[in-house]
A and B are shown apart, each in its own frame.
Chain A
Amino acid sequence: MELFVGEGNPHCLKVLAALEVTGVQCGVQFINHEEKVVPFLSRPALPALLLPSRQHLFSPNTICRYMFELNGPESSNQCNQWLEWEATVLQPVLFRALHMAVLQGKGSEVAKVLQGPLNVLDQSLGKGSTTYLTGEALSVADVVLWGALHPVLSDSSLALSAHQSVKAWFDRVAAVRGCQSAAQKVLQGKGLEAMRSYMQKQPAPQSSQGRDAQPCNSSPAESEEGDRVVSEEEMEAAVLTWGKDLNACSQATEKQHPIMPQEGKRNVLITSALPYVNNVPHLGNIIGCVLSADVFSRYGRLRGWNTLFVCGTDEYGTATENKAREEGLTPKQICDKYHAVHSSIYKWFQIDFDFFGRTTTEKQTEIAQDIFWRLQKNGFLVEDTVEQLRCESCQRFLADRFVEGTCPHCSYPEARGDQCDKCGRLINAVELREPQCKVCRQTPVIRSSKHLFLDLPKLESQLEQWLEKSTSSGDWTANAKQITRSWLRDGLKPRCITRDLLWGTPVPHPDFKEKVFYVWFDAPIGYLSITANYTNQWEKWWKNPHQVELYNFMAKDNVPFHSVVFPCSLLGAQDNYTLVNHLVATEYLNYEDTKFSKSRGIGVFGDMAKDTGIPSDVWRFYLLYVRPEGQDSAFSWADMALKNNSELLNNLGNFINRAGMFVTKFFEGCVPVMELQQEDKKLLAVVGWELQQYIQLMDKVKIRDALKHILNISRHGNQYIQVNEPWKKIKGGESERRRAGTVTGVSVNIACLLSVMLLPYMPAVSQTIREQLNAPQSCVNAMLQGAGTFACALRAGHRIGAVSPLFQKLEADQIEALKKRFGGQQVQIGASTQPAAVPAPAAVAQVQAAVGSDPEKAKQLAKAVAEQGDKVRALKSQKAEKAVIAGEVAKLLDLKKQLALAEGKNPEPAPQKGKKK
């Protein structure tokens, strides 16, 4: 048996005390807090006890109890009760108290925080007349509670002496042999201070309100979706809002280019990471930046913010040069070609850029060189010679992506000269193992060359100051903060900003005239130059941090360049630049069970989406529904069909269509008179609440979470219609008919609200709904103001337009066909736990050629394979000549391949790279 404990960890105090008191034989190891002992727990958990059966115990109280039970009787009910109280009631409070005392220096408030539990303990001890908690003998409950309270009770500065009975009991237990020595081992006589490093590594305690507000047994989702109790006040407020006149609300004006920051308005500048020009973007790229940014900028306009959304293609760099060589074009021609491809894809996806530019412009050169000279003048550039790979046969230095090799960190065989796709670490090309020139496949040699570096260490303290402010006041996603922190923790190093290339922004410095800027110095400057191509007053956006709020959207691999490298360039240039306020980074979107891969033809790429026949809006909806917000997610055809059919068709579309159809069929197309009853008021309040949630989440750029609230509203709506059955009531008496009218009128108004909330997600559908309802334009601008205004936009007597279904069902066979067509075809290996290997495109072609397998031929071939196999084995056992055996083996392999083809299987062995560890 082995016990693992850590210094300064208060939970370890209990178990060591239990160990000493019981005298159980057990090895003890002091280890670091971060060390992982229990194999199945993702967070390190100490103490941990390795049992003789090799199982682990990782709950402190269970460990203590086990030690007591090894040599004694089972613990009593009373004892169990104290242990449970300690774990569920005392610990959360105690943790908060320790957090205050150790980390926040608020020792004086500890007494107040701990008062509740200490009172409970004091009363219980005072009531009984026993020496210890559960009787005359020391029990596990005494040791656990003593250990838990030791750090706070033994510290005189915390003023906790008011509880007399507790004090007496505490001293009695402390006198038991073994307790004091356990405390000494864990706290080293340093008291609370010994726990500092442990406490720093724990997540901050939740506030008491937050914790109590959440019912113990329901997941957050349930508490959101369950029947919320609606108060009378909420209903009254909802009815009041309902009666508001939307026309009286301020009318937002049509946007007029160029959009400029305005005094007294919230000026929001939105950028989406610049897509790299040399490839067609895949769905992951689209959701990661442009689509997310588009939703947010559309939402921003609805909220009445003065919003500018810019993006463009990133065109310089080695990848473009490579691509140009592959396609036999000049880099410029490649850029022109692919810029048009990108534009048309984003147009199809309805990405509403205010300007979509590119980085290969004169403005780019002008602004990049200006920032360069400023950095030079301010002393933030340093010169250094760099060991670089040079390909002798191509007569050139191999920058970045001109070289490939094995990653020095994770041994991924296809790492590029600048970054490893597998582990995501940045690589210095000379560190690559087994480097190869990408052009001629020769092994390059190391030569030195002079380069310029941005002196990041010199800018570090400025950067940290700014980051502190920006991350605390803005909405940075958790991954963005974390990635940035890890960069700073590792310490910043000077970063090379020049490259030996042709296709780039030229370095204006005479000593470096053969070189261009490194694309990561250059590319983010594209945001500025693209804006400069949009308006010559671009500086009103980019040198105006007091009036402008900047949102950057990107996938997580792009974070360090936006949070560290680029801000350093701008800080160092000292020209009052607008720096990012809100950095919104997504995780990765996978395709079915694998990565998107252009080279392997896996996944759906932007240009193919429209060939599927599935409308752009549905694509947008599904991508946003699975937006990798907070965690990786996956695109799956089956799931897309499911969500289309269940959420869009059966929930949202069904509700909106029914509401409209009732008006058309039962009320001649005119919205009926509504007389609100209690039930209707309750619904208004519920819908209003969902609208508020939507706004709160969208304000924080929680795009995926906000979408759920739209769908909740239509769910409530469907339920409301279902319960009230207007199609029956319309045939009843006068009062029933009036009831049908009210239900129909309320429903159709909810549909109108939904159209507005949907606008950022599904602009075309949103527009169609409003056309069908003939809804006034004013509702679009008014409903999302403030905390949300669910007003009656379609008053009694309003005439709606022609209603028709909004969505179509996606049939299983249609989806199956699409799944096949888009390559991500998986070789199913039955119930095998091995991950399915992904066939290379060539193999896919062969498989498809072999579809319609030939069982007769397969039978013959199987026989031939068996015979040939026997022959090879016979030759081997006779120790025949190597060449003879090799010849027969080759024949065997060929037969096997034919057999595989005849059986309609993939004849190629799974490629190495498909295997995952």
Chain B
Amino acid sequence: MALRELASLEKYLGLKKPNKYSTQGDKKVPVLQNNNAPPLVGLVTIACHLAKEAKRPELLGDGAEGRAVVQQWLEYRVTKLDGHAKEDTRSILKDLNLYLQDKVYLAGNQFTLADVLMYYGIHAIVLDLAVQEKEQYVNVARWFDHIQHHPGVRHHLPPVVVLRNRLYTSRHH
């Protein structure tokens, strides 16, 4: 799964020569094999490395603060989202929804690697949401739709239909 994700990322970044990967352990942690340097282990580490290799540093955020926010969400992806317990799905969606309320992208107004990896990671959850639930997490749905239509991002994943007009008026909690 992580490998497909990295392959899609490579395509998005326009890297010509595909890298060689393997996986490690039960959790299939991706490993990037490198001829001149020791192998790199871990999805976020490899993804950041690829962005640098593609000369797209802006995808990692601008300035120390910007970079920190991007790292924040990359870390969130691999620690909170991956392997989360079933009962935590709602609270993840709820938190993200609140966070995205006043943002276009995870790092504010700039499209970054955080959006790409979070999109790959959350796809299965969003795919499973009913129309009504998508409306409940309207900011997540809006962001998700935005990212899946971002040129060159989607690749290995099926598109998820997100309605733009509301079927149900808002529910209160």
Interface residues of A (CB under 8 A from B): 39-43, 51-53, 55, 57-59, 61-63, 65-66, 69-70, 74, 77-78, 80-81, 84-85, 87-89, 91, 206, 211-212, 214-222, 590, 592-593, 630-632, 634, 636, 638-639, 642, 826, 828, 833, 835-836, 916
Question: In the complex, which residue of chain B has the Cβ closest to the Cβ of A84?
Answer: B42
From residue 80 to 114 of chain B, which have CB atoms closer than 8 A to chain A? 82-83, 85-87, 89-91, 94-95, 98-99, 101
With CB as the reference atom, state the residue of chain B lying closest to A55. B69
Q: Which of A81, A85, A91 counts the most B-chain CB atoms under 10 A from its CB? A: A81
Which of B12-20, B144-152, B165-173 is the interface stretch? B165-173
Which label, helix, strand, loop or mixed, suits the secondary structure of the B interface?
helix
A77 touches B128 (CB 8 A): no
Select B27's contact among A80, A212, A221, A590, beta carbons within 8 Å: A212
B2 touches A217 (CB 8 A): yes
- List the B residue with the shortest CB-CB distance to A72: B64
Q: Which residues of A contact B86 (CB under 8 A)?
A: 219-220
* B78 proximity list for chain A (CB < 8 A): 84, 87-88
In the assembly, what is the distance between CA of A41 and CA of B92, in Å? 9
Q: How far is the CB of A86 from chain B (nearest CB, A)?
A: 10
- Whether B173 and A632, one on each chain, are in contact in the complex, defined by CB atoms closer than 8 angstroms, is yes
Query: How far does the alpha carbon of A626 sit from the alpha carbon of B68 in the complex, in Å?
Result: 41
CB within 8 A of B1: which of A91, A206, A212, A217?
Answer: A217
Taking CB atoms, residues of chain B closer than 8 Å to A84 are: 41-45, 75, 78
Q: How far apart are A68's CB and chain B's nearest CB, in angstroms?
A: 9
Contact present for A216 and B27 (CB under 8 Å): yes
Q: Are B79 and A593 in contact (CB under 8 A)?
A: no
Interface string of B149-167 (1 = CB under 8 A from A): 0000000000000000001
16 A-B pairs within 8 Å (CB atoms) are namely: A42-B91, A57-B69, A58-B72, A61-B75, A62-B75, A66-B64, A69-B68, A77-B48, A80-B45, A80-B48, A84-B78, A87-B75, A212-B27, A219-B89, A219-B124, A639-B131
Q: Would you give the shortest CB distance from B103 to chain A, in whole angstroms?
A: 10
Docked Cα-Cα span, A219 to B127, in Å, equals 9
Question: Does any Cβ of A come within 8 Å of B56's Cβ?
Answer: no
List 5 tightest A-B contacts by C-beta distance, closest first. A84-B42, A40-B98, A66-B68, A217-B1, A40-B99
Could you tell me the distance between the alpha carbons of A211 and B99 in the complex, rounded to whole angstroms? 27
Chain B residue numbers with a CB within 8 Å of A62 are: 68, 71-72, 75
Given contacts A211-B83, A639-B132, 19 further A-B contacts (CB under 8 A): A53-B65, A59-B76, A61-B75, A66-B68, A81-B42, A81-B45, A84-B78, A85-B42, A87-B78, A88-B82, A212-B27, A216-B1, A217-B2, A219-B125, A221-B128, A222-B124, A222-B127, A835-B170, A835-B172
User: Are A59 and B168 interface neighbours, CB within 8 A?
Assistant: no
How far in angstroms is the closest Cβ of chain B from A622?
13
The answer to whether the Cβ of B142 comes within 8 Å of any Cβ in the partner chain is no
Closest to A639 in B: B132
Please report the C-alpha to C-alpha distance between residue A40 and residue B170 in the assembled complex, in whole angstroms: 19
Answer whether A638 and B167 are a contact pair too, CB < 8 Å, given A40-B99, A57-B68, A85-B42.
yes
Which residues of the partner chain B approach A634 to less than 8 Å between Cβ atoms? Answer: 132, 168, 171
Least CB distance from A896 to B in Å reads 25
* Least CB distance, B97 to chain A, in whole angstroms: 8
B67→A74 contact, CB < 8 A: yes
- The one of A211, A215, A217, A590 in contact with B121, judged by C-beta atoms closer than 8 angstroms, is A217
Complex Cα–Cα for A66 and B71 (A) = 9
- Complex alpha-carbon distance, A42 and B71, angstroms: 21
Q: How many angstroms between the C-alpha atoms of A709 and B49 in the bound complex?
A: 43
Chain B residue numbers with a CB within 8 Å of A78 are 38
CB neighbours (8 Å) of A63 from chain B are 68
Q: Which residues of B contact A592 (CB under 8 A)?
A: 168-169
Q: Which residues in B have some Cβ–Cβ distance to A below 8 Å?
A: 1-2, 5, 26-29, 38, 40-45, 48-49, 64-65, 67-69, 71-72, 75-76, 78-79, 82-83, 85-87, 89-91, 94-95, 98-99, 101, 120-121, 124-125, 127-128, 130-132, 167-173
Closest to B24 in A: A89
Tell me the nearest residue of chain B to A836, going by C-beta.
B169
Residue pair A826, B64 in contact (C-beta under 8 Å): no
Q: Which residue of A lies closest to B26 (CB)?
A: A212
Given A61-B75, A88-B78, A218-B124, answer yes or no on A80-B83 (Cβ-Cβ < 8 Å).
no
Q: Report the bound CA distance from A621 to B62 in whole Å.
A: 53
What is the bound-complex CA distance between A826 and B166, given in angstroms?
Answer: 13
Whole-angstrom distance between the Cβ of B6 and the nearest chain A Cβ:
12
Residue of B28, B42, B69, B132 most packed against chain A (CB within 10 A) = B42
Residues of A within 8 A of B76 (CB): 59
Residues of B within 8 A of A77 (CB): 40, 45, 48-49
CA distance A636 to B173 in the complex (A): 17
Contact of A42 among B44, B95, B101 (CB under 8 A): B95
A81-B91 contact given A51-B68, A59-B76, A217-B1, CB 8 Å threshold: no
Give the chain A neighbours of B169 by CB distance below 8 A: 592-593, 826, 828, 835-836
Q: How far is the CA of A220 from the CA of B169 in the complex (A)?
A: 28
User: What's the Cα separation between A194 and B27 when bound, in Å?
Assistant: 33
CA distance A844 to B168 in the complex (A): 20
A416–B168 Cα distance when bound, in Å, is 31
By the criterion CB–CB under 8 Å, are A43 and B45 in contact?
Answer: no
Pick the residue among A59, A85, A217, A642 that contacts B82 (CB under 8 A): A217
Chain A minimum-CB-distance residue to B90: A631
List residues of chain A with CB within 8 A of the CB of B89.
219
Residues of B within 8 A of A42 (CB): 91, 94-95
Least CB distance, B9 to chain A, in whole angstroms: 14
**B42 pairs with A65, CB closer than 8 A:** no
List of A residues within 8 angstroms of B71 by Cβ = 59, 61-62, 65-66
CB of B32 to closest CB in A, whole Å: 10
CB-CB under 8 A from B75, the residues of chain A are: 59, 61-62, 84, 87
CB distance from A733 to the nearest CB of B (A): 38
Assembly CA distance A639 to B133 (angstroms): 11
Measured between alpha carbons, how far is A80 from B49 in the docked complex, in Å? 10
Are B64 and A69 interface neighbours, CB within 8 A? Answer: yes
Contact A70 B72 (CB under 8 A): no
User: Residues of B contacting A91 with CB < 8 Å?
Assistant: 79
CB distance from A283 to the nearest CB of B (A): 16
User: CB distance A59 to B79 under 8 Å?
Assistant: yes
Nearest opposing residue in chain A for B97, CB measure? A40
A504 CB, min distance to chain B CBs, angstroms: 36
Q: Name B75's closest neighbour in chain A (CB-CB).
A: A59
A70 to B63, alpha carbons, bound, how many Å?
9
In the complex, how many angstroms separate the beta carbon of B124 from the nearest chain A beta carbon?
Answer: 4
Q: How far is B71's CA from A835's CA once the two chains are assembled, in angstroms?
A: 36
In the complex, which residues of chain B have a beta carbon less than 8 angstroms from the beta carbon of A836? 169
Contact A40 B45 (CB under 8 A): no
CA distance A69 to B86 in the complex (A): 36
Within 8 Å by CB of B40, from A65, A81, A835, lies A81
Q: Chain B's nearest CB lies how many Å from the CB of A23?
A: 15
Q: Are B128 and A214 in contact (CB under 8 A)?
A: no
Residues A593 and B171 in contact, CB atoms below 8 Å apart: yes
